[in-house]
Amino acid sequence: MQSHGGPGGLWARRAFLGALAVGGGVVQAQPAPSAQEPLAARLPQSMARPGGADVPYGQPSAYEAAVQRSVSHVSGFAGWRTPLQHQRGIITPSGLHFAVHHNGVPDIDPARHELRLHGLVDKPLRVDLARLLRYPMVSRVHFLECAGNSAANALSPTALDQTLGELAGEVSCSEWTGVPLSYLLNEAGLKDRARWVVAEGADGGSHSRSLPLKALLEHGMVALYQNGERLRPSQGYPMRLFMPGWEGNVNIKWLHRLEVSDAPAYTKDESGLYTQVLADGRIERFAFHMDVKSVITHPSGQQTMPETQGFYEIAGLAWSGYGRIARVDVSVDGGRTWAAAHLHGPVLDRAFTRFTLPWKWNGRRADLLSRATDEHGRTQPLRGEWKRRYALHSFNHYNAVQAWRVQADGRVENLYA
């Protein structure tokens, strides 16, 4: 779809920026101050006196206090969702990173914590934090997404009027730094029968998952840092397992044990909570990868357009657990026609990718959709397609197209397309 001036259409960037420069119904010029006013009266109030003192650990501005995670309590789990509607870059601040806790957040003394590696190995290891910090480390930017992200859209028969963060905020993107797991596994020496690794956390419920050894050797990391600082307690301090692109619950927090085995353990979590039921009753086990997905962050749910018509930028985030984002298409007419959005670099492997598209809104009701495709050709399905594949009660790995309805009065609502 290419529209260059039609009401409600998508505009080329040059025309879009030119329209903003002359006002366009959105940006209004301010009158110049009177020449008779004294200079001091024309200065911002903040320039009238010295500023306050800084603090040892930097904090957001008090004027941004409303930008917080939203809390949820589902099936006894405590969850904190990232307010994606406020995110503009690809890195989620550590304090806004989503978190899901099966058994609360343990208080772990790093000086007494150690990682045990045993099972089908030649030399079992007991590694404390001081020793682990001496290993060579790598840094990688990756997203992390809960398997149950967007569960409300998967289960609710009607579209809930909520913010993007409330609907799909159990996903974030950070720079993770730590020790490649291959260093530890190779140091321990793997026996010929070794095929799987059971990872266990030091939380009250001993959350554990079975992971294929081959994938851990290739991509696994014992993460120690997030966004340049030590992990926070809700992210697994002092160490966690990290598998880029895989469902959040396999990225074991508060990691303390790795058991190498010849078969999966079928733990309580992987056999119950994280096993998908298909529409025909079959079971989909060990569906580790999170599929390709995108969301429009603005305009999005419960936001209100500042003007009832004019020039806007549709913006959002896309990601895939299988690789890089190759394309994001956007529709402003409910999916009848589509236009390719601009992907902002860097476009990284298994990380958030930011996309934008200029839009001239004509002031009438508009249905906005985004549809991502990754480098392997995987494309987001519509909600109906996803629902036909899975049982009615299934909700894990929901990646259907997210739609928003912009009402004529400017209010934005969740929509099933």
Across the 417 residues of the chain, what is the mean pLDDT of every consecutive 10-residue run? Answer: 49 68 52 67 80 87 89 73 96 96 90 97 97 97 96 95 97 98 98 97 90 97 98 97 96 97 90 83 89 98 92 97 98 97 98 98 96 98 95 93 97 96
Domains of the chain from N-terminus onward: 70-279 (3.90.420.10), 293-415 (2.60.40.650)
Q: What is the pLDDT of residues 225-267, one digit of tens each?
A: 999 999 999 999 999 999 999 999 999 999 999 999 999 999 8
Map residue 297 onto helix, strand or coil.
Answer: strand
Q: What is the DSSP string of 199-240?
A: EEESSTT--EEEEEHHHHHHH-EEEEEETTEEPPGGGTTT-E
Per the confidence metrics, is the pTM higher than 0.85?
yes
What is the pLDDT, as a whole number, of residue 353? 98
Contacts of 52 (CB under 8 A, 6+ apart): none
Round to whole Å and give the CA distance between 338 and 370.
9
Give the per-residue pLDDT at 6: 45
pLDDT of residue 314: 98
Q: Nearest to residue 99, comparing CAs of 319, 249, 276?
A: 249
DSSP class of residue 103 equals S
Q: What integer pLDDT is reported at residue 51 of this predicted model?
A: 87
Burial class of 170 by CB neighbour count within 10 A (0 to 12, 13 to 18, 19+):
buried
Give the pLDDT score at 27: 47
Query: What angle is formed at CA 85 by the lines to CA 80 and CA 90, rounded to 5 degrees?
Result: 85
pLDDT at 7: 41
Give DSSP secondary structure letters for 309-359. SEEEEEEEEEE-TTS-EEEEEEESBTTSS-EEPEEESP--TTS-EEEEEEE
Bridge partners, residue 153, by sequence: none
Q: Are 167 and 150 within 8 A, CB to CB?
A: yes
At residue 74, the pLDDT reads 63
Q: Is 275 exposed, middle or buried (0-12, 13-18, 19+ CB in 10 A)?
A: middle
